[in-house]
Amino acid sequence: MIGLGRLERYVMGRTLAGVGAALAVISAVILLVSFVNLSREVAVRADVGVAQLFGLTLLQAPATILLLAPFVFLFGGIAAYVGLNRRSELVAMRAAGVSAWRFILPSAGAAFVIGVITVTVFNPLAAAFSARYESDRADLMENYLTDAPQEVWLRQGDERTQMVIHAKARDTVEGVVRLKAVSIFVYQKDKRGVPAFKRRLEAAEARLLPGYWRLTDVREASAGENSVRSDSLSIRSTLDAESAMERFAAPESVAFWRLPAAIRMTEQAGFSAGGYRLRHQQLLATPVLFAAMSILAAAFSLRLARLGGLAGLAGAGVGLGFVVFFFNEFSGALADADIIPLFAAAWAPPVVALLSGLSLLCYTEDG
């Protein structure tokens, strides 16, 4: 707010109020839909109360709200500028010789700053809430889930050793990852870096403790040798509980500050980190996307109300916002398929939206 005149502060305040109202409406809809879906999922538990369902809803909703956050700036900005237009405040500003750039750019700058805060603060919080939601839901539905447990595949390693871990099921108790019916294939790299099979471990259970896996009821077999049984065995691990859980989760569930480490550990284990790299670039582009939506909202709302067609133009702005959203999703799908570069997939939608808004403003404002 420093260095801004009264007019800029007034328009920014109205814009942020519109964004806040849009956020409240979208959040309420998301909470309602999430609550209904959870009620259906846990219908088998007759002893689950409304408070428990609402608590799970509050944990699940933030991730969805952040996904739809660009629409908050689009809808809120359109509502704010249309309101200013209908009250003839924009007409008065234009009559006084005030350029639209004077009050639009500060609002876009505020959207950019909010985008930075969203990525660096709210995204990690939403990721933590999502992890807590998965854990609480698993505890709540224990022995009630009808789906067969999903098999688990993990991979860890360093410059000399690679291990492929397969398990029939997994769970997490008090932050400790437990795998059931575990098979571990250990490979040793030669001087050329080519991995060669060294030994295989079979265990009834594996617990991930700080720095190592603790195996119980183990049978170990090396290449060309007989198997050896033992009650327990410890092997070194390059994973911790959080990074191991991230291997089970989608890239969208990993917090912004954890993504560089997830990329490094995934590539070190020999996997492709394309999904994590794409998510990292998309989060870096989020502030630009928020600013672009703010500018688009203004570009489609500055037509004078007395000239007519304002509602249709605002509706076109909403439609363009959906086009940008689906363009973003489509670009991500193309990047996942290695059709286009990750950087282009992450940055093209916000940059195109920003340039579209600036072009329309230049046409309507400067001719």
pTM: 0.76
Whether residue 118 sits in one domain with residue 189: no
The per-residue pLDDT for 148 is 45
pLDDT higher than threshold 60 for residue 145: no
In a domain, 270, yes or no: no
In a domain, 173, yes or no: yes
In a domain, 247, yes or no: no
Whether residue 134 sits in one domain with residue 10: yes
| Backbone φ and ψ of 197, nearest 5° | -60, 135
In a domain, 254, yes or no: no
| CATH number, residue 215 | 2.60.450.10
Beta-sheet strands, E only, within the chain: 152-157, 161-173, 176-189, 195-209, 212-222, 228-236
Given pLDDT bands bounded at 50, 70 and 90, which one contains residue 180?
confident
In a domain, 41, yes or no: yes
Given pLDDT bands bounded at 50, 70 and 90, which one contains residue 250?
low
Q: What is the mean pLDDT of residues 336-341?
A: 83
> Which residue range is the domain that position 322 belongs to?
6-141+275-366
Given pLDDT bands bounded at 50, 70 and 90, which one contains residue 152?
confident
- Rg (alpha carbons) of the chain, rounded to whole number: 26
Using CA atoms, how far apart are residues 190 and 123, in angstroms rounded to an integer?
42
Q: What is the pLDDT of residues 113-130, one digit of tens each?
A: 999 999 999 999 998 888
Whether residue 191 sits in one domain with residue 137: no
In a domain, 149, yes or no: no
Q: What is the mean pLDDT of residues 10-28?
A: 91
Q: What is the mean pLDDT of residues 245-255?
A: 67
Using CA atoms, how far apart are residues 151 and 339, in angstroms rounded to an integer?
29
The per-residue pLDDT for 247 is 57
Using CA atoms, how far apart are residues 351 and 295, in angstroms rounded to an integer?
12
249, two tokens: 């989760």
By mean pLDDT, which of 6-15, 108-117, 280-289 is the weakest? 6-15
The per-residue pLDDT for 308 is 53
Q: What is the mean pLDDT of residues 256-285?
A: 81
Whether residue 280 sits in one domain with residue 137: yes
Structural domain total, the chain = 2
In a domain, 148, yes or no: no
Whether residue 167 sits in one domain with residue 132: no
126-152 burial, b at 16+ Cβ within 10 Å, e below that, comes to bbebbbebbbebeebbeeeeeeeeeeb
CA distances from 212 to 234, 236, 350, 359 (A): 6, 4, 43, 57
Helix/strand/coil for 293: helix
Q: How far is CA 215 from the centre of its chain?
A: 34
Q: How far is CA 141 from the centre of its chain?
A: 25
Tracing tokens 């005149």 back to the chain, one arrives at 5
In a domain, 255, yes or no: no
Whether residue 130 sits in one domain with residue 178: no
**What letter does residue 50 receive in the DSSP assignment?**
H
The per-residue pLDDT for 72 is 92
